[in-house]
């Protein structure tokens, strides 16, 4: 397998770019800057970027079964958002304990639920970094009817949520433990069970967000490691893709054939000389990714 040159497609200077989501319908990539409370959209036909400001850190995005509506995870709650009109409406879910804890990475599963994790809040009221900590995070599942269930406690920083091509495995990680986990995923009731270590102890940075390709390989972005590591279904390193910035945060597959990997990055705690830190990057790959899952609306 090969990949092409890494290209900077949007030098937006994000303090903490995250949450890349591909909209096939719009031929566009959405992503966020957690620390500037922004959602960005790159129109791939024109190359233009538009940004929207929210009232809290924006931490995750999902397409929904309504093609005009997105689900947006803020630090404290979920909201519905219509990008074309910029209408926003509360979803109903909010996290207990905010601002001591906050939400983090999240993604829809293959059958329409939204999974997201939480963490000790490492941002002060001005969205500047402060000390985080282990043991405060929870993995939640939010069903289409709004019901919420807890599936994992005692987490440091929740990151990486993706499902195997067959939909029978779920991958999830804890950044502070430098570990990704694998679970059996039962589509009949959207349950996860039989946690086991999938990929741990890799010495290049810490695991941040991930995406998965159609062969079942997880592409894990390494914060502080300056790379993306492609991990086989057996948890072995297949290859390491070098990136032009140190803090690589998350990725998703897009383009008409799902062979464009879009990658976000962060400019915080970057070394001198990382002039493109905080940009959105892309590269062409041989193996296509998986289409974005959608949150199923029950209304």
The CA-to-CA distance between both ends of the chain, in Å, stands at 43
- Predicted confidence at residue 3, as pLDDT, reads 62
| Burial category of 195 from C-beta neighbours within 10 Å (exposed 0-12, middle 13-18, buried 19 and up) | middle
* Global pTM value: 0.97
For 156, list phi and psi in degrees, rounded to 5: -90, -80
When pLDDT is cut at 50, 70 and 90, the band that residue 4 belongs to is: confident
CA torsion angle for 21, 237, 201, 240 (degrees, to 10)?
-60
Superfamily for 7-295?
A: TolB, C-terminal domain (2.120.10.30)
Collapsing DSSP states into helix, strand and coil, what is residue 157?
strand
Token pair belonging to 156: 């440091």
Collapsing DSSP states into helix, strand and coil, what is residue 34?
helix
Pairing status of strand 260-265 against strand 49-53: unpaired
Structure-token match 């002060």, residue found: 124
Pairing status of strand 101-108 against strand 114-120: antiparallel
- Predicted confidence at residue 132, as pLDDT, reads 87
Cβ atoms of residues 253 and 29 within 8 Å: no
Residue 14: partners with Cβ closer than 8 Å, 6 or more residues away = 33, 35, 36, 38, 40, 264, 265, 266, 267, 278, 279, 280
Structure-token match 């096939």, residue found: 24
Domain boundaries, the chain: 7-295
Cβ atoms of residues 154 and 133 within 8 Å: no
Q: What is the pLDDT of residues 174-205, one digit of tens each?
A: 999 999 999 999 999 999 999 999 999 999 99
Rounded to an integer, the average pLDDT of 14-42 is: 98
- Predicted confidence at residue 2, as pLDDT, reads 56
Q: What is the pLDDT of residues 58-108, one digit of tens each?
A: 999 999 999 999 999 999 999 999 999 999 999 999 999 999 999 999 999
- Predicted confidence at residue 298, as pLDDT, reads 87
């Amino acid at each position: 397998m090969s990949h092409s040159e890494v290209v900077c497609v949007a030098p937006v200077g994000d303090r903490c770019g995250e949450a890349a989501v591909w909209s096939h319908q719009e031929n566009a990539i959405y992503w966020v800057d957690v620390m500037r409370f922004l959602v960005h959209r790159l129109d791939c036909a024109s190359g233009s970027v538009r940004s929207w400001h929210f009232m809290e850190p924006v931490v995750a995005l999902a397409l929904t079964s309504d093609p005009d509506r997105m689900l947006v995870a803020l630090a404290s709650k979920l909201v519905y958002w219509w990008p074309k009109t910029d209408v926003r409406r509360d979803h109903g879910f909010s996290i207990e304990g905010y601002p001591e804890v906050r939400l983090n990475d999240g993604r829809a599963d293959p059958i329409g639920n939204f999974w997201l994790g939480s963490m000790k809040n490492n941002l002060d009221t001005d969205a500047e970094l402060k000390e985080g900590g282990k043991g405060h995070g929870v993995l939640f599942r939010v069903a289409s009817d709004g019901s919420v269930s807890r599936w994992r406690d005692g987490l440091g920083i929740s990151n990486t949520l993706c499902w195997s091509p067959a939909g029978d495995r779920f991958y999830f990680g804890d950044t502070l433990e430098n570990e990704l986990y694998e679970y059996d995923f039962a589509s009949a009731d959207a349950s996860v069970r039989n946690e086991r270590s999938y990929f741990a102890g890799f010495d290049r940075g810490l695991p941040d967000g991930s995406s998965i390709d159609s062969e079942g390989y997880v592409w894990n972005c390494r914060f502080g490691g300056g790379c993306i590591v492609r991990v086989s279904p057996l948890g072995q390193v297949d290859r390491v893709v070098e990136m032009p910035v140190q803090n690589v945060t998350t990725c998703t597959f897009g383009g008409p054939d799902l062979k464009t990997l879009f990658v976000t990055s962060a400019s915080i705690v970057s070394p001198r000389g990382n002039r493109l830190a905080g940009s959105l990057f892309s590269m062409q790959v041989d193996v296509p990714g998986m289409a974005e899952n959608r949150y199923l609306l029950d209304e």
